[in-house]
């Protein structure tokens, strides 16, 4: 798909006048069964049992949740975008209903999980959306497999190290969790350690050629706006939107605004590409 540069300005949206997707479908949708039903299987992916859900029909749209969350954090997006796209949500290894590896794991393992999940589902090209750690996984996957990604949505993203205040707070909590030894405590510690060990991808952001939408909450203290601004400067074909009165998890805090921003971005991306990928 041709990648004409996006509007490079940084926008602060109105939460009462966000652009909305037309209620009318552009074409008859095709998909897994001919019905807009949800499929909720588990499969062994990259040696780990992975829980995923599929809903809707159309161009594949994969959502990757943040650390210490699970795929249900995208429920408002599944309800909205499955009317037009085939949505795929899944629990990252060590999260939700996916298997917790006995040993620790790395972000690279999570990226390979995504790669093998797409292969398992026979999805050649997708839209990718990620929140926080999910954004980092999406960025890494795009750098490794650019031919598989048509567009990228990064919410609450950070391509570099975890900010110091969050690192300190996380280390303190991880120390308490290690002493507990419960399953939930082990989940937290393993995810925390994987997140801290990730390399800085910022020097490589200029390699990304796909259309990229960056969304960040005005009041986000986990990935403050200055991080998205720095990333935006490095990615030539990117657009950045700041959501007022919103924290880190925009897709849950202001789902209508988030969905409308993403819909507008994808409609523009599809029109630039000369085709409607919702078909």
| 39-86: pLDDT as tens digits | 777 788 999 999 999 999 999 999 999 999 999 999 999 999 999 999
- Say if residues 104 and 194 touch (Cβ distance below 8 Å): yes
Tens of pLDDT along 16-35?
333 333 332 222 222 333 34
Gyration radius from the chain CA atoms: 18
What's the whole-number mean pLDDT along residues 242-255? 97
What's the whole-number mean pLDDT along residues 127-141? 97
Q: Does domain 10-15+28-272 have CATH number 3.40.50.1820?
A: yes
Rounded Cα distance, 48 and 206, in Å = 32
Rounded Cα distance, 54 and 161, in Å = 32
**pLDDT at residue 137 above 90?**
yes
The pLDDT of residue 8 is 56
The pLDDT of residue 112 is 97
- Angle at alpha carbon of residue 123, lines to 144 and 30, rounded to 5°: 150
**pLDDT at residue 160 above 80?**
yes
Rounded Cα distance, 216 and 142, in Å = 20
More confident residue, 179 or 249: 249
Q: How much is the mean pLDDT over the chain?
A: 86
- Pairing status of strand 42-45 against strand 48-55: antiparallel
Biggest CA-to-CA distance, the chain: 56
Q: How many CB atoms lie within 10 A of CB 27?
A: 10
> How does residue 263 score in pLDDT terms, banded at 50, 70 and 90?
very high
**pLDDT at residue 164 above 60?**
yes
> How does residue 117 score in pLDDT terms, banded at 50, 70 and 90?
very high
> How does residue 125 score in pLDDT terms, banded at 50, 70 and 90?
very high
């Amino acid at each position: 798909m041709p990648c004409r540069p996006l509007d490079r300005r940084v926008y602060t949206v109105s939460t009462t006048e966000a652009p909305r997707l037309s209620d009318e479908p552009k074409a008859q949708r095709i998909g897994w069964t001919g019905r807009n039903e949800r499929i909720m299987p588990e499969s062994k992916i990259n040696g780990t049992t992975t829980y995923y859900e599929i809903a809707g029909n159309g161009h594949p749209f994969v959502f990757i949740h943040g650390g210490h969350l699970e795929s249900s954090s995208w429920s408002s997006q599944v309800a909205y975008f499955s009317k037009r796209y085939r949505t795929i949500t899944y629990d990252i290894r060590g999260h939700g209903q996916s298997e917790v590896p006995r040993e620790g794991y790395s972000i690279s393992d999570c990226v390979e999980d995504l790669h093998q999940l797409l292969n398992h589902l026979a999805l050649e090209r997708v839209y990718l959306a990620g929140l926080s750690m999910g954004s980092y996984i999406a960025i890494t996957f795009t750098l490794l497999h650019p031919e598989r990604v048509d567009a990228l949505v990064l919410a609450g993203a950070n391509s570099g190290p975890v900010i110091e205040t969050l690192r300190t707070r996380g280390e303190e909590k991880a120390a308490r969790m290690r002493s507990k030894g419960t399953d939930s405590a082990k989940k937290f510690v393993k995810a925390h350690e994987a997140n801290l060990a990730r390399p800085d991808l910022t020097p490589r952001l200029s390699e990304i050629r796909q259309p990229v939408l960056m969304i960040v909450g005005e009041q986000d203290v986990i990935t403050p706006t200055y991080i998205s601004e720095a990333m935006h400067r490095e990615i030539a074909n990117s657009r950045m939107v700041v959501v007022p009165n919103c924290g880190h998890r925009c897709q849950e805090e202001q789902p209508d605004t988030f969905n409308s921003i993403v819909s507008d971005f994808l409609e523009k991306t599809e029109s630039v590409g000369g085709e409607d990928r919702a078909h």
